[in-house]
Amino acid sequence: MREMHKAWSTLFAEKGASLSHYFRQRVTHRWDAQDLVQEVYLRLLRIGPADAASIRNPEAYLFTVAANLLKEYGALRQAQPQGGDALDEAGHAAVPCAAEAHADGQLRRERLAALLARLSPKCRAVMIMHYRDDMPYRDIAERLQISTNMVKKYIVKGLAACRQGMASYE
């Protein structure tokens, strides 16, 4: 068992940078790529001796595990509705202490509210219903009597405006 872990560790040390690059090219956030790399390593360590003996090409197996994990990640991201954090993410900034974090969070909320106020009424309504009220696209479309495609367009437009506006504050 120890030899198997050592073999995986050696392979992972050799191919870790390639694996990291593979994930960074396919996910939005760097921290997600780092988490996925670590998950691949953990999955390799869980392989039993009998299964490890049947692996003919460890490097190919490593990237097969990575590809399957990426599929799982994509399915989970689609299945989970984005909550209020998605809007907040547009103005995310690291702060060193809790007091500053609270002040920074309040300031970001105020700036975000100002940016939302600049959006068209329907775009603002869609953004609020989706992110604050956690409504799915279909329900928003029915309530506002627009198509679900229009809901998507308003969300893209609203997020772009919020990201651009929050970037100008930094």
Answer yes or no: do 61 and 27 share one domain.
yes
Q: What is the pLDDT along the chain (170 residues), one digit of tens a residue?
A: 677 778 778 888 888 888 888 888 888 888 888 889 889 888 888 887 778 788 888 888 888 888 888 888 888 777 665 544 454 444 444 444 555 556 667 787 888 888 899 999 999 999 999 888 888 999 999 999 999 999 999 999 998 888 888 777 65
Q: Shortest CA distance to 128 belongs to which of 91, 154, 106, 163?
A: 154
CATH code, domain carrying 15 = 1.10.1740
User: Does one domain contain both 36 and 100?
Assistant: no
Residue 100 and residue 52 share a domain: no
Residue 89 shares a structural domain with residue 164: yes
The CATH number of the domain holding residue 138 is 1.10.10.10
Q: Are residues 17 and 55 in the same domain?
A: yes
Domains: count for the chain: 2
Q: Do 49 and 89 fall within a single domain? A: no
Structure tokens at 134: 């956690």
pTM of the model: 0.45
Q: Residue length, the chain?
A: 170
Same domain flag for 117 and 161: yes
Domain endpoint, select from 79, 103, 131: 79
3-state helix, strand, coil in the chain (%, to 5): 80, 0, 20
DSSP 76-129: HHHHSPP-THHHHHTT----SSHHHHHHHHHHHHHHHHHHHHHS-HHHHHHHII
Q: What is the pLDDT of residue 88?
A: 47
Q: Are 69 and 40 in contact (CB under 8 A)?
A: yes
pLDDT of residue 120: 93
For the packed helices 30-45 and 58-79, what is the interaxial angle rounded to 10 degrees?
130
Query: Residue 126's domain spans which residues?
Result: 85-169
Domain boundary among 79, 95, 117: 79
Of 79, 113, 136, at which residue does a domain stop? 79
Q: Report whether 159 contacts 112 (CB < 8 A).
A: no
pLDDT of 103 reads: 65
| Helix (H) and strand (E) counts in the chain | 9, 0
